Amino acid sequence: MILPCSVQTNMQGEELRKHGTRLFPVACYLDLLPGDEIAWHWHNELELGLIVNGSVVVETGSDSRRIYAGEGFFINSNILHAAVSSDGDTCEIHSVVFHPRAVSGSTDNIIWQKYLKPLMENQACPGFYLTPDVVWQKQVLDCLGFLWQSAAQEPFGFEIRIRNELSTAVALLSENQPVVSKKSFGKAQRDNARIKEMLSFIQANYDRELTIEDIASACAISASECIRCFRATINTTPIAYLKSYRLQQAAIKLQLTTDKISVIAESCGFQEMSYFARAFKEVYGCTPSEYRIGK
């Protein structure tokens, strides 16, 4: 079964959606951008994605890259990531999100200990951008294409076929993962913990006036360290993320409520209606009222 994309997170940015079932923890998603917003989030599961048409900017931590049809990506466990349409282009993404036990079954066997555990704990490997020009990466993309077909058609034994393709993909990713630098491990781990705390603070307080100092106080760090941490982990500034999150929440409220647009703007931290309308159009390509009626 192919599912529509929908990202909902808790206050720490962790995705709330359960991917697959307890018996088969694998889920395939159809992402259509710019309609399906893939905001900054993270999950314990691993993720593979293939760009079917168009192009998209995929962001994993501080790294950002525009990838095109035929290319793809791998997102490691617990890594903050997001995807946005590039220049408003239409983009179709086929993605699969899977728990490691879909491959290893448990944590007391060689599959987990030799292949999955080292990959998932490798701080030097937040993910991969995959291109068909590299032999092993093309093999990973082929695995994703084959398992997607099985998920869409669900022939007898499709669960086994999907598990086989995921196992092959994991082996290739594990074999080609970069060597972790012990020097950078502690710093990256600290920054990752800090950014999650600050994202949590922003998401709990986006409706009121916030300064960089307010955001930094969530981790008891300086404003300059706050800015550095945002740059190092998600390649943006605290204020830029705050603005983006406010606009995302406004878009959700425009779709799910009948509140006046001015009320929605104020509830999302925008004090000036003209600024809200201008900022909204820059991101979504239409006015708030046009967005509400589904232009």
Q: What does DSSP assign to residue 87?
A: G
pLDDT at 28: 93
Over its length of 295 residues, how does the chain's per-residue pLDDT go in tens digits? 777 655 555 555 555 567 788 899 999 999 888 766 677 788 889 999 999 999 888 988 667 889 999 999 999 998 888 887 766 678 899 999 999 999 998 888 999 999 999 999 887 888 899 999 999 999 999 999 999 999 999 999 999 999 999 999 999 999 999 876 555 556 777 887 888 889 889 988 999 999 999 999 999 999 999 999 998 888 789 999 999 889 988 988 898 889 999 999 999 999 999 999 999 988 888 899 988 877 5
d(CA 87, CA 285): 10
Token pair listed for 105: 């079954």
pLDDT at 63: 77
pLDDT at 186: 65
DSSP-assigned states of every residue in 12-25? TSBB----S-SSS-
Q: Is the whole model's pTM more than 0.85, yes or no?
A: no
Name beta bridge partners: 57. Answer: 66, 84
Amino acid identity at 90: T
Question: Tokens 């970069």 — which residue?
Answer: 178
Cα 178 to its chain centre, rounded Å, is 21
pLDDT at 224: 93
Please state whether 23 falls in left (phi above 0), alpha (psi between -120 and 50) or beta.
Answer: alpha
pLDDT at 227: 94
SS3 readout for 198-210: HHHHHHHHCCCCC
Name beta bridge partners: 41. Answer: 81
